[in-house]
Amino acid sequence: MKLWVKIIIAMFAGMAVGWTLGPQAELLYPIGEVFLKLISMIIVPLVLASMTVGITSIHDPKKLGRVGLKTLGFYLITTLISIALGLSFAYLFNVGHGIEITPLQPISEVEPMGMGQIFSNLIPTNPFASLISNHHILQVIVFAIFLGVAINFAGEKGRPLLDIMEATSEVMYSLTSIVMELSPLGVFAIMAWVAGRFDKEVLYSLAKFLSVYYIACLIQLFVVFGGMLVFVARLNPRPFFKGMWDAMTVAFGTCSSSATLPVSMQCVQEHLGVSKNISSFVMPLGSTINMAGAAIFQGMAAIFISNAYGIHLDFMTLITVVITAVLSAVGAAGIPGSGILMLSAVLASAGLPLEGVGVLFGIDRVREMISAVVNSMGDAVVAVTIAKQEGELDELQYYQAELAELEESEA
């Protein structure tokens, strides 16, 4: 039985047990708490290693040139739009409002910070101290960016450190897989606690959150990405979605943009006419640093949890959420479970309770299905757009499906 099936079964089983036991279901929460601590245990080394390795993939400034700057620019813009979309929909539909969850541990008040203080606090005075504390994830991310750039400048002498980071990254992914195998048990305990403590209001709110998230992702796909094809690439978006259908179904089924990468590259080259030169650079880079679906989720989830726990987020805290979400989207791996791990970093930066991750974990696998589609299509849209601008797009091949349909209709 696949893990996501086990998680969904555990979620419904937990609800049933929670409704049966009522408040006594809180006795099961320590099991869920252990699971949350296992997730928390992974966050810092995973962020440090994966972010550093991701930055080092941009290793040849001369080769990057104009194409590299365009790629990074498009990825940054689409990620910012994704976060804005997630935050807007969260406020528009008031996700998480009315649940009134009481945190198990008192939440320390977060002092509102000015813009200058926010950017000043990005830089760690002692990176090792930041690594020790889960409350300084943003500093860990910034340190990883500088470390990745420095490794590139060090050349071959920096290679041993890069090897260590790559090995650490792979080990953390393996550890994540091990922890995820325990997720059905953790989800069962957490959902039993939620159902027993908060009745059906929380479950209704989770269903509402998932529905709103899917709507936001569909708008990102067809309005934002479709608009990019129309207004920036000057192309009809219909052949794009037809040509990428195979990749979209693989992404939806695997919940992994990284696993979809080979299929996505094949689709953009064979169905859409993107040159191998462009696709082989833009697509792998995008699978590493471009996570639009995760960005939508992180912004929306932060508002959901703040509303659920009755915590007001001031404007400067929202700016911190946006910055953390952008940087953690860069550091997120395109594998199942990475979005919920990176959410922990966003919550920590905003002073929100980590236990809020447990409330959303039960629906995360279903959420990741559409998230992986958005991530993969974001990479493909940027590849097509840059190929068109650089004169490396075979437009006849791009429109071949449309032309074939036209010929059939005329016949």
Whether 152 is covered by a domain: the verdict is: no
Our count of domains for the chain comes to 1
Tokens 């493909």, located at residue: 380
pLDDT at position 66 is: 72
Angle between helices 61-92 and 276-289 (to 10 degrees): 50
In a domain, 232, yes or no: yes
Query: Tell me, what's the pLDDT at 388?
Result: 92
Structure tokens at 213: 């998230």
Question: What pLDDT sits at residue 308?
Answer: 85
Evaluate whether residue 279 is within a structural domain.
Answer: yes
Domain CATH for 338: 1.10.3860.10
Is 402 a member of any domain?
yes
**Structure confidence at residue 334 (pLDDT):** 53
Taking residue 37's Cβ as centre, other Cβ atoms within 10 Å add up to 10
CA 96 – CA 102 distance, rounded (Å): 13
Q: Is residue 185 part of a domain?
A: no
The contacts found for 234-240 with CB under 8 angstroms, 24 or more apart, are 234/388, 235/384, 235/388, 235/395, 235/398, 236/399, 236/402, 238/402, 239/272, 239/398, 239/399, 239/400, 239/401, 239/402, 240/272, 240/380, 240/381, 240/384, 240/398
pLDDT tens sequence across 335-387:
556 677 778 778 877 878 877 787 787 777 778 889 989 999 999 999 999 99
Does residue 401 belong to any structural domain of this protein? yes
pLDDT of res. 109: 45
Q: DSSP code of 393?
A: B
Indicate whether 290 belongs to any domain.
yes
Domain span including residue 311: 61-101+110-141+200-410
Phi, psi for 47 (deg, rounded to 5): -60, -50
In this predicted structure, what is the pLDDT of residue 86?
A: 92
Question: What confidence score (pLDDT) does residue 369 get?
Answer: 80
In a domain, 263, yes or no: yes
**Per-residue tens of pLDDT for the chain, all 411 residues:** 766 678 778 878 887 888 888 878 888 878 877 877 786 777 778 778 876 776 676 555 555 567 778 888 898 899 899 999 999 999 999 998 877 666 555 444 444 444 565 566 667 777 777 777 655 666 777 788 788 888 888 888 888 998 998 898 788 778 877 877 887 888 788 778 777 766 566 778 888 999 999 999 999 999 999 999 999 999 999 999 999 988 888 788 667 776 677 788 888 988 999 988 788 777 777 776 778 888 899 889 999 998 888 888 888 888 888 888 777 666 555 555 667 777 877 887 787 887 778 778 777 777 888 998 999 999 999 999 999 988 889 998 998 866 666 666 665
